[in-house]
């Protein structure tokens, strides 16, 4: 136990939920569905073009009321209003977290240090529009006068995952003329394989880095720049082919990017919340500005829903509180994100950074050590592929793994009965998680198959599925700019709701800094010709020697 435990677990509201969990252990979801024929319609809420069926959860009306009471006691509504109005909710960096301003329609002001950030956002969107239109209508060309055909977006973390997800998700909306490539990894394979696919005359490079200090992005950008110069480009044409999105304009200029070619970022946007800013340029170049604005409108609709809907009908609030419920009261260590839509296949990757970088914290906002769990491990993948891999563990493993199933009602690709097949697969999984299969059912099934009594008894225990495993099902009409915007914004706010209950700063990420600091110390030891000086432990030193000897250093 920490010396000064945080107050959350001693709240009466917390204790009430502990007791509720104990009572719920004696009843199954199967029984809850049988007792209440209206359960599905009562636990169904809608907002911003999305709908959530949360009836397949370990939940009763009392549980829901108690979760809401906990939220009130943690001042969730006040904290939400602070977030949306631009208060300095990122306390350790003394900044607002105003990603919602990036998708604001521009009809009101939000002031940060006396500056209207909504107006700045609108100006930047107009600049983006002029740039995107110029590339797409080919009035803006490469150095040889040819139209651009490829964009290479160089960035990592939030400067990569969000645009990649949205770009893939909105493939049916691609305008057709621009192919987009993403380079993130410091593994040279990433940039080298990408450069093999493009032509310097027709390729635009976007250097995406809020800080313009991130090693991976700077090193990959240097390689791209040199490749461009070695393959027909010259210094004078760098300005036509290299753009940057950053809050650090001097560093971009030092790199050789013309100030006119820099799109701004702001301190009040966190990296993992930045896809709505000019960091979304690769997306805008592939789907066009009208669709990009529709994406922003979808996210804004979710912001309004989050800000206005009563807590018990509020999608991010209900999903955030359910996550707390399983994480802290049912010892769930992980949470599965299972999009049943091929276009949304990178959603788990984006949500991993969003949720785990935000809520992977061990002290309260005021720096007190915690005596409860914070962010669970998020993982997952696209259905139905996962059914032939990790779903076995979800159904019959010993751990409780709550899951979010995400599926559109309509497909962009109607072929044979595929979409109905996909939908049936999704429903079969959430039903199997909830209902499972009892020993009696397993025995009866095997007997019907003609097995003798001995064989039935031997096999039946292996066929038991415990069930009572919780899941949410999120549906939308179709994957489209508005629904994808709303979906990502939903998870952003869900992340914030959890952070409020856990009393952590969801907008800083000091933990990632240590690796960066240590990396700077180890690199010279790998490259140096001198006798090795210690990196601090014999394991690291041994691996450094192996690397040096393999590479002739
Ligand atoms: O990995 C930590 C992180 O700071 C993320 O939050 C951020 O999105 C990423 O690095 C990239 O940072 P930048 O945009 O400054 O290059």
Across the range 414-435, mean pLDDT stands at 98
Please say whether the beta carbons of 200 and 231 come within 8 A.
yes
Q: Residue 110: its pLDDT value, please?
A: 95
Q: How much distance in Å is there from the Cα of 213 to the middle of ligand 1?
A: 9
Q: Residue 80: its pLDDT value, please?
A: 98
Which atom of ligand 1 is closest in space to residue 274's alpha carbon?
A: 8
Residue 532 DSSP symbol: P
Testing ligand 1's pocket by substitution, the residue of 165, 183, 210, 267 carrying the most ligand atoms inside 8 A of its CB is 210
Closest C-alpha to ligand 1, atom 1? 157
Which atom of ligand 1 is closest in space to residue 156's alpha carbon?
A: 11
Closest C-alpha to ligand 1, atom 3? 157
Across the range 444-465, mean pLDDT stands at 97
Closest C-alpha to ligand 1, atom 6? 271
434 pLDDT higher than 60: yes
99-294: which CATH architecture? 3-Layer(aba) Sandwich (3.40)
Q: How many CB atoms lie within 10 A of CB 425?
A: 15
- Report the Cα 476 to chain-centroid distance in Å: 18
Question: Nearest 5°: phi and psi at 411?
Answer: -110, 155
524 pLDDT higher than 50: yes
Please say whether the beta carbons of 399 and 393 come within 8 A.
yes
Q: How much distance in Å is there from the Cα of 159 to the middle of ligand 1?
A: 7
Which atom of ligand 1 is closest in space to residue 211's alpha carbon?
A: 15
CA distances from 260 to 240, 257, 446, 514 (A): 11, 8, 72, 34
Q: How much distance in Å is there from the Cα of 408 to the middle of ligand 1?
A: 31
Closest C-alpha to ligand 1, atom 16? 209
Please say whether the beta carbons of 204 and 148 come within 8 A.
yes
Q: Each residue of 76-115: pLDDT tens digit?
A: 999 999 999 999 999 999 999 999 999 999 999 999 999 9
384 pLDDT higher than 80: yes
Please say whether the beta carbons of 105 and 293 come within 8 A.
no
- Residues 192 and 188: their CA atoms lie apart, in Å, by 6
Weakest-pLDDT range from 180-189, 268-277, 440-449, 524-533: 524-533
DSSP-derived pairing of the beta strands 403-408 and 377-380: unpaired
Q: Residue 306: its pLDDT value, please?
A: 98
Please say whether the beta carbons of 469 and 394 come within 8 A.
yes
Using H for helix, E for strand and C for coil, what is the string for 170-230? CHHHCCCCCEEEEECCCCHHHHHHHHCCCCHHHEEEEEECCCCCCHHHHHHHHHHHHHHHH
Domain residue spans of the chain: 8-74+309-435+470-504, 99-294, 512-551
Please say whether the beta carbons of 48 and 301 come within 8 A.
yes
- Residues 317 and 320: their CA atoms lie apart, in Å, by 5
Q: Residue 4: its pLDDT value, please?
A: 44
DSSP-derived pairing of the beta strands 44-47 and 50-53: antiparallel
Strand order through the sheet with 203-208: 179-183, 150-154, 203-208, 242-246, 262-264
Q: Each residue of 389-423: pLDDT tens digit?
A: 999 999 999 999 999 999 999 999 999 999 999 99
Testing ligand 1's pocket by substitution, the residue of 185, 271, 509 carrying the most ligand atoms inside 8 A of its CB is 271
5 pLDDT higher than 60: no
Q: Each residue of 143-178: pLDDT tens digit?
A: 999 999 999 999 999 999 999 999 999 999 999 889
- Residues 358 and 89: their CA atoms lie apart, in Å, by 13
Average pLDDT of the residues of the chain: 95
Q: How much distance in Å is there from the Cα of 271 to the middle of ligand 1?
A: 5
Q: Residue 507: its pLDDT value, please?
A: 97
Which residue, 23, 19, 2, 22, is CA-closest to 11?
A: 19
Structure tokens at 99: 């990603």
- Residues 271 and 253: their CA atoms lie apart, in Å, by 21
Name the band, by pLDDT with cuts 50, 70 and 90, for residue 534: confident
Q: Residue 37: its pLDDT value, please?
A: 96
Please say whether the beta carbons of 406 and 338 come within 8 A.
yes
Closest C-alpha to ligand 1, atom 4? 271
Q: Residue 6: its pLDDT value, please?
A: 55
Collapsed DSSP state (helix, strand, coil) of residue 110:
coil
Testing ligand 1's pocket by substitution, the residue of 93, 97, 157, 512 carrying the most ligand atoms inside 8 A of its CB is 157
Q: How much distance in Å is there from the Cα of 356 to the middle of ligand 1?
A: 13
Question: Which sign does the torsion angle of CA 335, 341, 345, 350 carry?
Answer: negative
Testing ligand 1's pocket by substitution, the residue of 154, 155, 158 carrying the most ligand atoms inside 8 A of its CB is 158
Q: How many CB atoms lie within 10 A of CB 303?
A: 25
Rounded to two decimals, the pTM is 0.96
Please say whether the beta carbons of 135 and 178 come within 8 A.
yes
Q: Where is 19: in which H helix or E strand?
A: helix 12-24
Q: Each residue of 52-64: pLDDT tens digit?
A: 999 999 999 999 9
- Could you give the percent of the chain with pLDDT greater than 70? 98
The ipTM is: 0.97
Q: Residue 150: its pLDDT value, please?
A: 98
Testing ligand 1's pocket by substitution, the residue of 156, 186, 219, 276 carrying the most ligand atoms inside 8 A of its CB is 156
Q: How much distance in Å is there from the Cα of 256 to the middle of ligand 1?
A: 21
Residues with CB under 6 A from ligand 1: 156-159, 209-211, 214, 217, 271-272, 357, 509, 512
Catalytic residues: 357, 388, 516
333 pLDDT higher than 70: yes
Please say whether the beta carbons of 277 and 464 come within 8 A.
no
Q: How much distance in Å is there from the Cα of 128 to the middle of ligand 1?
A: 22
CA dihedral 48, 53, 59, 62 (to 10 degrees): 50
Q: How many CB atoms lie within 10 A of CB 108?
A: 8
Q: Residue 531: its pLDDT value, please?
A: 67
Q: Each residue of 226-279: pLDDT tens digit?
A: 999 999 999 999 999 999 999 999 999 999 998 899 999 999 999 999 999 999
Whats the size of the chain, residue-wise?
553
Q: Residue 139: its pLDDT value, please?
A: 96
Please say whether the beta carbons of 50 and 486 come within 8 A.
yes
Weakest-pLDDT range from 91-95, 494-498, 520-524, 548-552: 520-524
Q: Residue 3: its pLDDT value, please?
A: 42
Closest C-alpha to ligand 1, atom 9? 157
Task: Count CA atoms within 13 Å of residue 279 on its CB side.
Answer: 32
Question: Nearest 5°: phi and psi at 220?
Answer: -65, -35
For domain 8-74+309-435+470-504, say whether CATH 3.40.50.10490 is its number: yes
Structure tokens at 271: 């990296």
Name the band, by pLDDT with cuts 50, 70 and 90, for residue 533: confident
319 pLDDT higher than 60: yes
Omega before 189 within 30 of 0, i.e. cis: no
532 pLDDT higher than 70: no
Across the range 185-212, mean pLDDT stands at 97
Q: How much distance in Å is there from the Cα of 546 to the middle of ligand 1?
A: 30
Number of H helices, E strands in the chain: 23, 13
- Residues 437 and 362: their CA atoms lie apart, in Å, by 39
Q: Residue 51: its pLDDT value, please?
A: 98
Q: Where is 548: in which H helix or E strand?
A: helix 538-550
User: Both ends of the chain: CA-CA distance in Å?
Assistant: 48
Structure tokens at 290: 């009208």
Q: How much distance in Å is there from the Cα of 124 to the middle of ligand 1?
A: 21
Q: Which residue has the higher pLDDT, 4 or 157?
A: 157
């Amino acid at each position: 136990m920490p010396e000064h435990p945080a107050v959350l677990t001693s709240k009466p509201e917390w204790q009430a939920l502990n007791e509720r969990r104990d009572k719920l252990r004696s009843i199954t979801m199967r029984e809850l569905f049988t007792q209440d024929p209206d359960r599905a319609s009562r636990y169904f809420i809608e907002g911003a073009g999305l709908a959530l069926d949360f009836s397949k959860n370990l939940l009763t009306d009392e549980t829901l009321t108690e979760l809401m009471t906990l939220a009130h006691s943690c001042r969730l509504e006040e904290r939400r209003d602070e977030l949306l109005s631009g208060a300095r909710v990122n306390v350790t960096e003394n900044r607002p977290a105003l990603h919602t301003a990036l998708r604001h329609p521009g009809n009101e002001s939000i002031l940060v240090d006396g500056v209207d950030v909504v107006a700045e956002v609108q100006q930047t969107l107009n600049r983006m529009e002029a740039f995107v239109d110029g590339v797409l209508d080919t009035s803006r060309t490469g150095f040889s006068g040819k139209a651009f055909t490829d964009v290479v977006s160089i960035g990592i973390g939030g400067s990569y995952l969000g645009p990649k997800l949205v770009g893939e998700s909105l493939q049916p909306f691609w305008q057709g003329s621009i192919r987009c490539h993403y380079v993130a990894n410091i593994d040279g394979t990433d940039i080298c394989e990408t450069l093999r696919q493009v032509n310097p005359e027709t390729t635009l490079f976007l250097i995406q880095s809020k800080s313009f200090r991130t090693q991976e992005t700077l090193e990959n950008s240097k390689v791209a720049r040199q490749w461009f110069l070695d393959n027909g480009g010259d210094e004078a044409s760098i300005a036509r082919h290299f753009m940057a999105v950053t809050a650090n304009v001097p560093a971009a200029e030092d790199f050789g990017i013309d100030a006119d070619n820099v799109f701004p970022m702001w301190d009040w946007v966190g990296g993992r919340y930045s896809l709505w800013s000019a960091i979304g340029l690769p997306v805008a170049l592939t789907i066009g500005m009208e669709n990009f604005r529709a994406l922003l409108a979808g996210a804004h609709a979710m912001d309004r829903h989050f800000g206005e809907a009563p807590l018990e009908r509020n999608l991010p609030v209900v999903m955030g509180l359910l996550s707390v419920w399983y994480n802290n009261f049912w010892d769930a260590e992980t949470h599965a994100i299972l999009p049943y839509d091929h276009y949304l296949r990178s959603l788990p990757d984006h949500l991993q950074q969003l949720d785990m970088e935000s809520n992977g914290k061990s002290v309260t906002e005021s720096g007190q050590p915690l005596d409860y769990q914070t962010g669970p491990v998020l993982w997952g993948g696209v259905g139905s592929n996962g059914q032939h891999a990790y779903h076995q563990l979800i159904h019959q493993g010993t751990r409780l793994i709550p899951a979010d199933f995400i599926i559109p009602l309509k497909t962009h690709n109607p072929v044979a009965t595929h979409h109905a097949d996909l939908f049936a697969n999704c429903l079969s999984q959430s039903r199997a998680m909830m209902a499972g299969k009892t020993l009696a059912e397993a025995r009866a099934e095997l007997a019907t198959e003609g097995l003798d009594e001995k064989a039935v008894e031997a096999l039946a225990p292996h066929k038991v599925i415990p069930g009572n495993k919780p899941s949410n099902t999120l549906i939308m009409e179709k994957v489209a700019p508005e629904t994808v915007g709303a979906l990502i914004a939903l998870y952003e706010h869900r992340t914030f709701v959890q952070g409020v209950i856990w009393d952590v700063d969801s907008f800083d990420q000091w933990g990632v800094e240590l690796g960066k600091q240590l990396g700077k110390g180890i690199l010279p030891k790998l490259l140096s010709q001198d006798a090795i000086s210690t990196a601090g432990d014999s394991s690291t030193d041994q691996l450094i020697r192996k690397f040096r000897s393999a590479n002739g250093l």
